[in-house]
Amino acid sequence: MKPTTHKLDRTRQAAPQVFEWLREAIIALELAPGTPLARAELAERFELSQTPVRDALIRLSEEGLVDIYPQHATLVSRIDLHSAEQAQFLRCSIELEVVRTLATVGDAALAERLTAMVDMQAALAGTGGETFIAADQAFHRAMYEAAGVPDLYELVRRRSGHLDRLRRLDLPSPGNSERVVRDHRRIVEALARREPEAAQAALRAHLSGTLGRVADIRTRHPEYVAG
């Protein structure tokens, strides 16, 4: 890791900020599986004592994103497929109900707003970068918020670290970002038509993509995926 100092917001608690910074770097694969995370180096980077760094690493361990070996080392974990599958099950279970609820209501203003978000994603398709991923996440978050369950989005996000890393390995493959855009359009069209079953079918197809390509991902990135 580079020793560059990272400035924190001194009006907020330090440990949650260190946790979020490290989590985002791990999810984005800026900190690849196997990367050592030394408390002393992190404390120097953030200009902190080691206590908030330790607390942040413990939280990351609870999410399965780091492996802590007492008196030895802390390493960014490899992607655990079982954890990814469980996150997929949780996300699919919740979002199927989210789109059913939205399709039953048939909010025209929401459909228009989601369409605009998909149009923005289409303009970013092919980049495979963090901007496209942020737009994708914003689309799904908007549906949770419209269904009145924003806290469940945060629950899913916290459980999806391994799945999100798999998606980042998968997204740069040719045609994947365009596929995401097509899937999102099908979901919005079903919502606009007030067709709950069609919306659920479109969502189910959309969410099944990455895990359906695990064998290929593992072949291309054997050092990242456990098992």
Summarised one tens digit per residue, pLDDT across range 88-143 is: 999 999 999 999 999 999 899 999 999 999 999 999 987 768 899 999 999 999 99
Q: Phi-psi category of 16—alpha, beta or left, where left has phi over 0 and alpha has psi -120 to 50?
A: alpha
Q: In whole angstroms, give the CA distance from residue 3 to residue 58.
A: 22
Q: Can you tell me the mean pLDDT for 186-202? A: 97
pTM of the model: 0.89
Q: In whole angstroms, give the CA distance from residue 33 to residue 153.
A: 25
Q: In whole angstroms, give the CA distance from residue 227 to residue 221.
A: 12
Greatest Cα pair distance in the chain: 59
- The answer to whether residue 2 scores a pLDDT higher than 50 is no
- The answer to whether residue 3 scores a pLDDT higher than 60 is no
Residue with tokens 């800026």: 30
> Measuring CA to CA, which residue among 143, 181, 135, 131 is closest to residue 28?
131
Q: In whole angstroms, give the CA distance from residue 82 to residue 166.
A: 12
* Residues 65 and 21: beta-carbon distance below 8 Å: no
The structure tokens listed for 104 are 């039953």
Summarised one tens digit per residue, pLDDT across range 164-174 is: 999 999 988 88
Specify the DSSP element, H or E, that contains 74: strand 73-76
Q: In whole angstroms, give the CA distance from residue 133 to residue 167.
A: 9
Provide the 10 A C-beta neighbour count for residue 174: 8
| Residues 51-61: b if buried by 16+ CB within 10 A, e if exposed | ebbbbbbebbe
- The answer to whether residue 1 scores a pLDDT higher than 60 is no
- The answer to whether residue 192 scores a pLDDT higher than 70 is yes
* Residues 69 and 105: beta-carbon distance below 8 Å: no
* Residues 29 and 165: beta-carbon distance below 8 Å: yes
The structure tokens listed for 136 are 């994708």
- Please give the radius of gyration of the chain, using alpha carbons only, rounded to the nearest integer: 19
* Residues 139 and 184: beta-carbon distance below 8 Å: yes
The structure tokens listed for 106 are 């048939």
> Measuring CA to CA, which residue among 205, 214, 199, 222 is closest to residue 85?
214
The pLDDT, as a whole number, for residue 71 is: 83
Average pLDDT, the chain: 93
